[in-house]
A and B are shown apart, each in its own frame.
Chain A
Amino acid sequence: MVSKPKERDVGIGEVRVSHNPEVLRIVGLGSCVAVALYDPIARVGGLAHVMLPRRRVSIFCDANGGVDGRFAEDAVRLLLDEMLKAGAEKGRVVAKVAGGACMFPETMTVSIGEENVRAVKEALRNMGVRLIAEDTGGNHGRTVILDTCTGKMTVKTMHGDKIL
């Protein structure tokens, strides 16, 4: 009998990689984006929880602070680095992306969700990681569950579940 691996939440700005059977989860994703990386041969998987497309001066960061997993490019780089440290090989790593919704389109003039998705894709491209699946945009929230052992990503919404 194999016991079910426990689910571990990945908070905003956090990056988590595992080569043990572990299930990573991001609950109630709105305009934030979940980036999953997976190496099918090494069976190493990881998840990042991106908050903003890029650094901007605000109450919680300045324009030229250190590496910060809340921002798209930093998050993808941190995640890839962790993957390689855990035994993944760059040429085999593939990506799946979910999130980036615009929850209140009538009130929001700019969709940070869309910008987040664009920035994440650009970062993946720059780092030579192939994007193989995505479930992004729209006006609904998502809960993302990644099985780091199989690379299977489940996206739960109010309207049903999807497997990426």
Chain B
Amino acid sequence: MAKLGFKELGIAFNAGVLSPFQKDALRELANIGSGHAVTSLSEMLGGKLVHINVPRVELLRLEDAKKTMRGDKIAAGIFFKLRGEISGYMQILFPERSALTLVDVLMGKAVGETQNINSELERSALNEVGNILASAFCDALSEFLGVSVVPSPPSFAFDFVGAIVESAILAVATDRIILFECDFSEEENDIHGYILLFPSLDGLRKMLALLEAKINGV
């Protein structure tokens, strides 16, 4: 039986590395997603201006993703199952410091006031932001690739980054994650986050084929 690798996916995809074109296409996708999210986030924050910059898009192995996001650190993770033509999971991750700042901003507190995420109020505030981002990115995926992708209701964890990320990848049985690194700025506060996409094998194949078609102008 042949080993099922990226070569067998039948698309230009070398050693699990994104081509510059595929990267550009994903970056454009991220820009569309951010554009959608900015409006909703600004509304949620009572009209304050929010900017989202996506400086980095990568296709990573689990081990490398853990290293990039510092697996031993604490983060808030908001987790979604994806339904529709591209199956898999999506995760929004805010490193501890950013998660606490975000809660302060959302609840109108002075930055530094929130010290932990343990009440339902804090969790649901972060869930809501996660929801907005996941929906915006799924809409962007749908719009950009012409497929339908819808996120499930969110599920939340405040724990080690490694543990949060690992859980999703095992569920899809691939070892590749599409990582969008995001910088959010809300007036004077900078918040750092990650949007992670864990497509199923079939989902990844479909996505890359659609991206490829997009690049070739089909």
- Could you say which residues of chain B place their CB within 8 Å of the CB of A110? 171
Are B170 and A112 in contact, CB atoms less than 8 angstroms apart?
yes
- Min Cβ gap B88→A in Å is 12
Are B201 and A58 in contact, CB atoms less than 8 angstroms apart?
yes
A87 touches B (CB below 8 Å): no
Of B72, B168, B173, the residue contacting A59 (CB under 8 A) is B173
- Min Cβ gap B66→A in Å is 7
Which chain B residues numbered 1 to 16 have a C-beta less than 8 Å away from chain A? Answer: 1-6
Are A30 and B166 in contact, CB atoms less than 8 angstroms apart?
yes
- Could you say which residues of chain B place their CB within 8 Å of the CB of A142? 160, 163
Interface stretch among B17-25, B32-40, B74-82, B209-217? B74-82
- Could you say which residues of chain A place their CB within 8 Å of the CB of B5? 59
Are A103 and B174 in contact, CB atoms less than 8 angstroms apart?
no
- Could you say which residues of chain B place their CB within 8 Å of the CB of A62? 1-4
Measured between alpha carbons, how far is A58 from B204 in the docked complex, in Å?
A: 12
Total cross-chain contacts (CB, 8 A): 118
Are A28 and B161 in contact, CB atoms less than 8 angstroms apart?
yes
Are B170 and A31 in contact, CB atoms less than 8 angstroms apart?
yes
B167 touches A (CB below 8 Å): yes
Measured between alpha carbons, how far is A158 from B71 in the docked complex, in Å?
A: 14
Are A30 and B162 in contact, CB atoms less than 8 angstroms apart?
yes
B51 touches A (CB below 8 Å): no
Are B3 and A107 in contact, CB atoms less than 8 angstroms apart?
no
Measured between alpha carbons, how far is A110 from B173 in the docked complex, in Å?
A: 13
Are A29 and B166 in contact, CB atoms less than 8 angstroms apart?
yes
Of B71, B74, B173, the residue contacting A58 (CB under 8 A) is B173
Measured between alpha carbons, how far is A156 from B99 in the docked complex, in Å?
A: 21
B143 touches A (CB below 8 Å): no
Interface stretch among A38-46, A49-57, A123-131? A49-57
Measured between alpha carbons, how far is A143 from B72 in the docked complex, in Å?
A: 8
Given A12-B63, A58-B173, A139-B157, CB of A30 within 8 Å of CB of B3: no
25 residue pairs of the A-B complex, CB under 8 angstroms, read: A11-B63, A27-B162, A28-B163, A28-B164, A28-B165, A28-B166, A30-B160, A30-B162, A30-B167, A52-B170, A58-B174, A58-B201, A59-B4, A59-B6, A63-B1, A103-B79, A104-B77, A104-B79, A139-B157, A140-B159, A141-B157, A141-B163, A142-B160, A143-B72, A158-B160
Q: Which 9 A-B pairs have the closest CB atoms?
A: A28-B162, A141-B163, A30-B163, A28-B160, A58-B173, A141-B160, A30-B166, A103-B167, A106-B155
